[in-house]
Amino acid sequence: MENLDSDLLRTFVAVAEAGSVTDGAARIHRSQSATSLQIKRLESILGQPVFMRHGRGVILSDTGHRLLPVAQDVTNRLDVALRDISQTAVTGKLRVGIPDDHGRAKLAQIIAAFTRHHPQVELEVTCAISAGFPDALDKGSLDLAIYEVERLGKHEELLYEDPTCWVSSAHRNFRAEEVLPVALFDHACWWRDAAIASLERRSKPYRIIYSSQSVSGVIAAVEAGIAAGLLGRSSLHADLSIVGETLGFSRTPASKLVMAAAGSQETGPLDAMKTAIRSAFLTKI
């Protein structure tokens, strides 16, 4: 009788969590073809498929759903055992800031995975509006932070770039000549500044009728058909339409999600968290 190899299980977990063979391969630093062969090998041992094709990616089959928690548990236990035996466990304290208004779900998954792999690190996570994170890093109240900027600054590492565009509900048509109702962020940040600059360049009347502290709030107003809003392309779905060209807007800048640390000294927890975040962002947010 054949046995389940831990290497096959790691490949399976990577593809399952990434949602595609290509992105799963990137996570484990293997080629797509080598990753596909390992998945086929696993399915051959099980005698059943673990994935089904879904658009450009894959989803778990019934067998895959049964196997995933077992595979995650096995690989996590092996990682913990290796750290304990080799005495290379990462210890210490780390204060991390993650944005409440962009990519929250993915970042929460990164934090959860980091905690499982580095249980001896004392994490203090702040989930808030990220506009204040650079100042918090300068003051030393955060060790590491993820936030959005228009232009990449010194000591900021690019994680993800999201083009922006003016959007409205697919069920509401605004006319170029009317006073345009808009939804904006209500705090000082580059998103609000970029939206207002774009509106001023358009040189047509507008009215701010809705303000929100988060992306989800602006999206809600746009979906309701009461306003147009400046959003990232990653936020688009079937009920939203790009209206920038139709309404006479010029091109708007891309949002850059960046990672930055306080000071230049690397510590065990800081270096480990940076590695975890970089690995996760090999796939799209």
Q: Assign residue 229 the CATH number of its domain.
A: 3.40.190.10
Q: Give me the domain span that covers residue 196.
A: 164-253
Residue 256 has pLDDT above 80, yes or no: yes
Residue 280 has pLDDT above 60, yes or no: yes
Same domain, 101 and 73: no
Q: Which of 80-94, 113-127, 212-226 is most confident?
A: 212-226
Is residue 1 assigned to a domain?
Answer: no
Measured over the CA atoms of residue 129, residue 134, residue 138 and residue 140, the dihedral's sign is positive
> What average pLDDT does the structure give for the chain?
87
- For residues 64-73, average pLDDT: 94
Q: Residue 129 has which token pair?
A: 């509006």
> Which helix (DSSP H) or strand (DSSP E) does residue 159 occupy?
strand 157-162
Same domain, 262 and 149: yes
Binning pLDDT at 50, 70 and 90, where does residue 200 land?
very high
Please state, in angstroms and rounded to a whole number, the distance separating the CA atoms of residues 9 and 130: 36
Hunting for tokens 């005698």 — which residue is that? 47
What's the pTM value of the predicted model, to 2 decimals? 0.65
Query: Would you state the pLDDT for residue 56?
Result: 79
Binning pLDDT at 50, 70 and 90, where does residue 285 land?
very low
Same domain, 249 and 261: no
The residue among 86, 108, 135 that closes a domain is: 86
- For residues 17-27, average pLDDT: 87
Is residue 54 assigned to a domain?
Answer: yes
Residue 142 has pLDDT above 70, yes or no: yes
Q: What is the pLDDT of residues 79-96, one digit of tens each?
A: 777 766 765 667 889 999
Please state, in angstroms and rounded to a whole number, the distance separating the CA atoms of residues 37 and 45: 12
Domain count of the fold of the chain? 3
- For residues 126-143, average pLDDT: 89
Query: Would you state the pLDDT for residue 181?
Result: 97
CA dihedral of residues 65, 66, 68, 70 (deg, nearest 10): 170
Please state, in angstroms and rounded to a whole number, the distance separating the CA atoms of residues 33 and 173: 46
Same domain, 71 and 23: yes
Residue 165 has pLDDT above 70, yes or no: yes
Binning pLDDT at 50, 70 and 90, where does residue 33 land?
very high
**Which of 106 and 219 is assigned the larger pLDDT?**
219
Report strand pairing: 164-169 vs 228-232.
Answer: antiparallel
Is residue 32 assigned to a domain?
Answer: yes
Q: Residue 260 has which token pair?
A: 């930055």
Same domain, 146 and 269: yes
Same domain, 79 and 124: no
The CA-based angle 159-161-165, given to 5 degrees, is 155
Same domain, 137 and 275: yes
The CA-based angle 226-229-231, given to 5 degrees, is 140
Query: Would you state the pLDDT for residue 87?
Result: 56
The residue among 36, 59, 86 that closes a domain is: 86
Query: Would you state the pLDDT for residue 245?
Result: 92
Residue 283 has pLDDT above 60, yes or no: no
Query: Would you state the pLDDT for residue 1?
Result: 60
Is residue 76 assigned to a domain?
Answer: yes
Residues 6+ apart with CB under 8 A from 172: 225
Query: Would you state the pLDDT for residue 265?
Result: 61
Please state, in angstroms and rounded to a whole number, the distance separating the CA atoms of residues 224 and 237: 14
Q: Which of 126-130, 205-209, 230-234 is most confident?
A: 205-209
- For residues 137-157, average pLDDT: 90
Residue 284 has pLDDT above 50, yes or no: no
Binning pLDDT at 50, 70 and 90, where does residue 64 land?
very high
Same domain, 114 and 38: no
Same domain, 245 and 263: no
